[in-house]
Amino acid sequence: MVDKPAGLLTHPTRPDGAPTLWDGLRQLLAYELANRGQLSIITRLDRETSGLVLLALTPERARALGLAMQCGLIGKEYFAIVRGWPEWDQTRIDAPIVRQGEVGESPVWLKRCVDPRGAGARTDVTLMRRFERDGKKFAMVRSEPKTGRTHQIRVHLAHVGSPLVGDKIYGGREGAAYLEFIETGWTPQLAAELLLPRHALHAAALRFPIGEDFVEVRCGLPSDLRDFAGEAPVFGG
């Protein structure tokens, strides 16, 4: 188990030498890998998402955890900071997800959307607290995805009117902020719009089977999300 920082790719996606979690782990575990170990990353996170990533260091453990993943036995819990104050304290978002370009126009190839033609997706969300910052309303929520669709939590929360702070693709303008970021990098204009340089999503807990028992591992919010939420007054939740 490792706690991945925001901004770090999990796996290499192009031969440009950008650092990745995979490369760093292979260096860190060089001795184990040289002595018949095998590194497998069981759970993956987007580049901008921080938090827990589950690893296996033997083929046997990788097979067992891979099967547990297929059977829905690995529980995941994420914390997210969203815009606005949700009217609900708890909600279940049951809405199929598809790549937007498969069902319509999309300026961003990887952008997903809710559509009845998509694959089934379900997320349980609990309001943790509402707060204000600079006169604007935000909320901290706990999200538990019950399926594993690409960008699932981000798509579902935007779908119910609670987009993540800092989300370049689902935070508004149909992904234009993402395209602008690719073209110009981080600018004062994007900072004023998005408020954070990455989307406010953190993998806070994983629960997984080891033999006949279950193990739960948790990690707290990173400093950027703690600083954003700060000591603002809490409103309900």
What residues are labeled active site? Answer: 46
Q: Which regions of the chain does DSSP assign to beta strands (E)? A: 2-4, 40-41, 50-53, 55-56, 75-83, 90-94, 97-99, 112-114, 122-133, 136-145, 201-210, 213-218
**Measured distance CA(185)–CA(205) in Å, rounded:** 31
The DSSP code sequence of 136-200 is EEEEEEEEEESS--TTHHHHHHHHTT-PBTT-TTTSSGGGHHHHHHHHH-S-HHHHHHHSSSS--
- CB atoms inside a 10 Å sphere around CB 139: 22
| Whether the Cβ atoms of residue 163 and residue 171 lie closer than 8 Å to each other | yes
d(CA 236, CA 129): 6
Cα 167 to Cα 58, 63, 119, 190, 211: the distances in Å are 36, 34, 22, 11, 38
